[in-house]
Structure 1
Amino acid sequence: MAQSPVLVDLDAANFEELPCCGVVNEAHSGRCDKNKWLKTYLKKGLRAKVLLGSDGRQCGYIEYLPGEYAWRGVEARGYLFIHCLWTHYKRNQNKGYGGQMIRACVEDAAAAGMDGVAVVAREKPWLASSAIYLKHGFAVVDSAPPDYELLVKKLNPEAANPRFKTGWADRLKKYSTGLTIIRSNQCSHIAKFADEIAQSAEQDYGLKPTIVQIKTHKEAQNAPTPYAVFAVIRDGVILADHQISCTRFHNIMQGRGARPDSV
């Protein structure tokens, strides 16, 4: 009988051997950036766990930290905040692995005396949908445009709910001219997408993008989108508020009337 997957905590001693997001190449720029980010936020209470099968292969990953350090557009002090919840490969889906990781987070929150666990969810890529959290006792307490939901599983019924930041339109105004790419090191996959889009923008559309590197949790919490850690903005309009491929970037640009080799 196959053994159940085991959750292994990542720390400074093992995250080189257990890459958090399935990026195996040790020289991958995004992986190197993520490891530096991990070292910084492990000191602030971040917990990152890899779910390993009996064959030693990764089945999943979860990452969470105290809400005051969240890299999303939220105010969640007093809660553990989940950044990422992944089940790797379709063969590992619908086996309860997501629930196993969520329960571990809730147990950590209880052990630390936190008010509960909070998370941002949506139905698009790069975030888990609300359904899995609702299944495990979370409730929606806030929403933000265009389709983000903030969910919480309370351990302290008297605690105030976490909430999304507001004023999205005001924060977007500073990106009203030209093409801007917002990026960060919180996700190891961002570097590849951001670099490819920046190169394509300049080579194919004659647009030299402004690169905005989010360096701190405070900057992330005050970014122009709830997801915070990645965005592509042109003349004050959000073209993408999560990681997209270069092909998707081309489709968006051409859908807005741009053509390669034209400004």
Structure 2
Amino acid sequence: MKIINVTPENVQEETFFCIKDIKNLGFDSKRKWFEKRYKEGINLRILKNEDNKMIGFIEFIPASKAWRPINAGNFMFIHCMYIYSKKDRSRGYGKMLINEAEKEAKKHKMAGLCIMTSKGSWMANKTIFEKHGFTEIGKKGRFELLSKKWDKNVSNPKLIDWTKQQYKYKGWHLLYADQCPWHEKSVFNLLNTAMDYDVDIKVTKINTAQEAKNGPSGFGVFGLLHNGKLLEDHYISATRFRNILKKELQN
């Protein structure tokens, strides 16, 4: 097994794991986003086997620069972690990736690691982190905040209440960031669907970590809202959006 450190220099060759087609518009958007964040301390590691096949990946960044609604001081924050195949999820590969984040955090004399987790799609489940020394220290809606700290004198990370921002969004709003390379396709599909229903939807790109931290969504980098209500906090298909439109337009 080997772990590849993805950098702006080798990203075209190594890809981002979650998107491999370098000709995809989403890949290019993520690449530009990644290059800017690289200067802020972002790390992306891909785990490969002896046949050079990609097994999983982890993306982490100093918590002050994290694109999630958290206030975590001198911690390292894990944006994403994923082991692709179910048969590989009980072989210690997740621990190998977590160890990469821990080594980097200790190298920079940070107080610990933290991550937001959730059941279902789009985010890692908390189980693997609890197995490796993380403790749940916060919860809101479907999201949990977990931490593993080695400096016991440092305060625990905290969630920022994203619901306080939602009332500002009158009408239809779609917010997204290039932290996830699949947002580009989703936004295109949602805009076309909105036109089919003669719905005027305002699209806002989230351009900074601070905007993501203080946004209206628990996921931080995506939000679909209607009249102050958060309808989705992760990217969705055109079919899912049609169903949402039908329901909302009936009310």
TM-score (norm: length of structure 1): 0.91
The answer as to 2:177 corresponding to 1:184 is: yes
The answer as to 2:241 corresponding to 1:249 is: yes
- Per-residue deviation at 1:258? 4.6
- Give secondary structure in 2 for the equivalent of 1:196: helix
- Give secondary structure in 2 for the equivalent of 1:16: helix
Partner of 2:113: 117
- Per-residue deviation at 1:255? 3.9
Whole-angstrom distance in 1 between the partners of 2:6 and 2:231: 34
Aligned equivalent of 2:45, options 45, 49, 64: 49
Whole-angstrom distance in 2 between the partners of 1:236 and 1:27: 36
Aligned equivalent of 1:16, options 4, 12, 26: 12
Aligned equivalent of 2:218, options 226, 231, 236: 226
Aligned equivalent of 2:80, options 64, 69, 84: 84
The answer as to 2:138 corresponding to 1:142 is: yes
The answer as to 2:205 corresponding to 1:210 is: no
Aligned equivalent of 2:189, options 183, 196, 199: 196
- Per-residue deviation at 1:91? 4.1
Percent identity of paired positions between Structure 1 and Structure 2: 29
CA RMSD across the alignment: 1.6
Question: Which shifted more, 76-85 or 100-109?
Answer: 100-109
- Give secondary structure in 1 for the equivalent of 2:148: strand
The answer to whether the 8 Å contact 2:112/2:151 transfers is: yes
Partner of 2:163: 169
Whole-angstrom distance in 1 between the partners of 2:171 and 2:17: 32
| Residue 72 to residue 105, structure 1, CA distance change in 2 (3 Å) | same
Unaligned runs of 5+ in 2: none
- Per-residue deviation at 1:49? 0.4
The answer to whether the 8 Å contact 1:73/1:222 transfers is: yes
- Per-residue deviation at 1:208? 2.1
Q: Which amino acid aligns with 2:120?
A: K
Aligned equivalent of 2:150, options 137, 140, 155: 155
In the comparison of the two structures, how many residue pairs are matched? 251
- Give secondary structure in 2 for the equivalent of 1:137: coil
Aligned equivalent of 2:63, options 53, 64, 67: 67
CA offsets 1:72-114 (integer angstroms, 9 cap, x no match): 0011120000000011233433322112101221122122211
Partner of 1:36: 32
TM-score (norm: length of structure 2): 0.95
- Per-residue deviation at 1:257? 5.3
- Per-residue deviation at 1:25? 1.9
Q: Which amino acid aligns with 2:149?
A: K
